[in-house]
Amino acid sequence: MKKSMLILCTIVLMLSACIKFPGEPVVTIRNYKIDFKIGGLNHTVGEANVGFPTEPIQNFIQQLSIVAYNTQTGAEVARQTQLPGAPNFGQISFELPTGTYNFVAIGSQTEFGISQFYEADKNSPVYAAYAQANFQYWQPSFSSLDKRYKTSDTFFAKQTGVSITKNQTLEVMMERIVGLLNVIVTDRSDYSIEITSEFSGFRFDTAVPFSTIENDFSSAVKHSKDGPISFYILKNQTPVNLHLGVGAEPTFQILVAKNKRTTVRVQWETKTYSTTVE
């Protein structure tokens, strides 16, 4: 009898826990739609990153990624990536609950990973906290010996501490984070130029480039006949190394500012050069 009463009491308690009494508040979590309007894109290094493009965004970039982070915890809460062929390329929306967020947008002519660089793992996303998060151009190997020069025209924007309490559209003004290095040899028409020590990653929190792979031996070699050689450069706070020929010495250390065109005019025979920035 006592056992039956105990079972009955347990059932009554369980049922009462499921009953909503009049006047009790109902807790619901509402999501708000966040749209993004992408601006600042242009075709020419040196142009100001202002306004909104009047032509399709895929004319400027081949990958667009937008990531949302919880401002308080730093955790990633949403991410979308678009590649060529995606319907409505450049139109990205999130559904997020009330809160405060950091938003990051990256666009590039070269495909990249979010907080990862090994291309074989691109279908296994990595979710890093905002303080450690970054983008990195995809690489074919973990080895620094196989690291490739991948830098192309690349744009970045972030908005921090954004309060979400309603549906809204965020205007995202992208900033070009690469510079253009032009090399002109004045006394030779057929020549090769190598660039080493270029970076291939960019941190979201500090908005600075960094080296993806330890002991970076990354190099880019380009050949020219009767014309200048141009390289996009991500590393903009310290110089890259310029070689007259593959692995040749001496090495010229050239600082390439973001969204600037740095032109190096070289006398091959005397191994001297001059630099202009515009």
Q: What is the pLDDT of residues 255-267, one digit of tens each?
A: 999 999 999 999 9
Q: Is the backbone of residue 257 left (phi > 0), alpha (psi -120 to 50) or beta?
A: beta
Q: How far is CA 164 from CA 29, 58, 101, 127, 261, in A?
A: 13, 29, 8, 22, 39
Q: How far is CA 129 from CA 50, 92, 96, 146, 247, in A?
A: 30, 21, 18, 28, 39
Return mean pLDDT, the chain: 89
What does the pLDDT look like over 99-142, one tens digit per residue?
Answer: 999 999 999 999 999 999 999 999 999 999 999 999 999 998 87
Distance CA 274, CA 111 (A): 34
Answer for the pair 183, 192: CB distance below 8 angstroms, yes or no. Answer: no
Residues 6+ apart with CB under 8 A from 111: 62, 63, 83, 137, 138
Name residue 244's beta-bridge partners. Answer: 193
Residue count of the chain? 278
Q: What is the pLDDT of residue 27?
A: 55
Tokens found for residue 170:
């965020």
Q: What is the pLDDT of residue 188?
A: 92
Name residue 64's beta-bridge partners. Answer: 82, 107
Q: What is the pLDDT of residue 250?
A: 86
Q: In the chain, what are the domains?
A: 31-109+152-176 (2.60.40.2100), 179-277 (2.60.40)
Output the pTM of the full model.
0.88
Distance CA 53, CA 57 (A): 7
Q: What is the pLDDT of residue 214?
A: 54
Residues 6+ apart with CB under 8 A from 259: 45, 46, 47, 49, 175, 176, 177, 178, 179
Q: What is the pLDDT of residue 10?
A: 46
Q: What is the pLDDT of residue 5?
A: 46
Listed as ranges, residues in the chain with pLDDT below 70 are 1-28, 144, 212-218
Q: What is the pLDDT of residue 23?
A: 54
Q: What angle do CA 44, 253, 118 make, to 5 degrees?
A: 70
